[in-house]
Amino acid sequence: MLAVAFSLAAAAAFAASALYIDSVTGRVGPLQLSRWQMGLAFLMTAGLALALGGWRTIDLQMALWLTGSSAAGIMFASLTFVATIQMTGPRISALLFTTAAPFALALGYVFRGETVNATQGAGVALIVAGIVLAVLGPRGDEGERPPKPLWLGITLGLMTALGQATGSLLARPAMLAGADPVAAIAVRTGVAVVFFVALLAIPALRPATRPEPLAIRRIGWSAVSGMVIGMSLLMAALARGDVGIVTTLSSTTPILILPMVWLVHARLPGAMAWIGAALAVFGTGLISLAT
């Protein structure tokens, strides 16, 4: 039951982070945004882990698992995530990212022998269906995406989802062994910072200007909510629940962001979005009862 609560809380934190990121879209490039977000998250989580003694729970083997998790779930998935949005637009890309749940279920079964009973399977199916309905609501700026090959965008979107699922799978052994969630995030973000800073060696990927102070503050809040709180909750959930179930529940961000958008921007979601939310809530209830 704790895994369910942590997973849903992580999804809510990711939704809050997305609102902060949305507020700087167009003013900060995606790679620059990732570099600042990871850097700030590493400083915060490393400091917290030092103050709370979390670093003592990380040994070399755990650090290697978490490094692999960062490579798949942050470095690789971040690059393909950006390319997917550019080629397919936000709506189709969000739909493609929901495939992280079935990928996680398959990987958990193949590599860790994790199984899902009939009730949990029905819950997963309802949650995925709910996310699909929420994403397929009224069209926004989908038609404004650049004319890129759709098949390539779909391929990159599926690769992103697979990378995210693999990242969760690789983090699970470290969390089961007792790694502190905050220290685990510090390792993952620290490795990612080195990667994103190394990309500055490529002239074409260097930012033209530094973000303005307001944008940096909002990036900082997105790092607090998404990378510090959200990812720590996700790591805690992985220490208590199966990869597939945790990934499915933490993927309900498109559902949980609906009331936040309503409160912050006074934009009432459409009927399909609310139907999707209802299906996701019912699916979550099934998983909770079967856990």
What is the number of residues in the chain? Answer: 291
Q: What pLDDT sits at residue 143?
A: 44
Rounded distance, CA 130 to CA 136, Å? 10
Judge whether 130 and 280 are in contact, CB under 8 Å: yes
- Residues of the chain predicted below pLDDT 50: 139-146
Rounded distance, CA 114 to CA 241, Å? 10
What total number of domains does the chain contain?
Answer: 1
Nearest alpha-carbon partner for 133 in 255, 243, 222: 255
Q: What is the domain extent for residue 223?
A: 2-290
Q: What pLDDT sits at residue 56?
A: 95
Task: Determine which helix (DSSP H) or strand (DSSP E) holds 105, and give its type and residue range.
Answer: helix 100-112
Tens digits of per-residue pLDDT, 232-258?
999 999 888 888 888 888 877 777 777
Q: What pLDDT sits at residue 191?
A: 95
Q: Tokens for 106, please give them.
A: 């398959």
Rounded distance, CA 128 to CA 114, Å? 19
| 271-290 helix and 2-22 helix, angle to the nearest 10 degrees | 150
Q: What pLDDT sits at residue 140?
A: 47
Q: What pLDDT sits at residue 50?
A: 95
DSSP assignments along 133-177, one per residue: HHHTSS--SGGGS----HHHHHHHHHHHHHHHHHHHHHHHHHHHT
Q: What pLDDT sits at residue 282?
A: 81
